[in-house]
Amino acid sequence: MNREETATDYFGRGYNCSQAVLVTFCEELGMNKEMALKISTGFGGGMRKGEVCGAVTGALMVLSLKYGHYIEGDTVSKAQNYAITKEFQEKFKALNKTVQCRELLGYDLSKADEMEVIKEKNLFAVVCPKMIQDAVRILEAMI
């Protein structure tokens, strides 16, 4: 399986968008799968508020594992990570017009009545796999 298929498979097995993206890259970046799945859990569904798409936050975690700032006073790597973060989001927006979960789905999952519509229209299965695949493709080009 390629990375897009791996990430989509994780999503299909019940993991959220953020988990699916991060776990696909984690081991090659020094993080085990259990830790990746745990740390990314709360970011699915735009942090359960329809905010930034979980596929995007998962991707930003991947980029931070690869290029993140960790040495005190190292402002160069911090600035580089911020630039890479911005670049990823711009590329994702170019494909999808937004990074906001509620805008991608067309409904706000933090509102009970809109969550019902999301479920009725099966939007998680219709919209989210494409967002995951887009995030993975962008990451592959960036790392």
pLDDT, tens digit (0-9, with 9 covering 90-100), for 71-122 = 999 999 999 999 999 999 999 999 999 999 999 999 999 999 999 999 999 9
Partners of 52 in the beta sheet?
100
- Computed over every residue of the chain, the mean pLDDT equals 97
Do residues 124 and 118 touch, judged by C-beta distance below 8 A? yes
Please give the pLDDT value at position 10. Answer: 98
CA distance 113 to 97: 25
Single out the residue of 33, 11, 13 nearest to residue 23, CA to CA. Answer: 33
pLDDT confidence tier of residue 129, bands split at 50, 70 and 90: very high
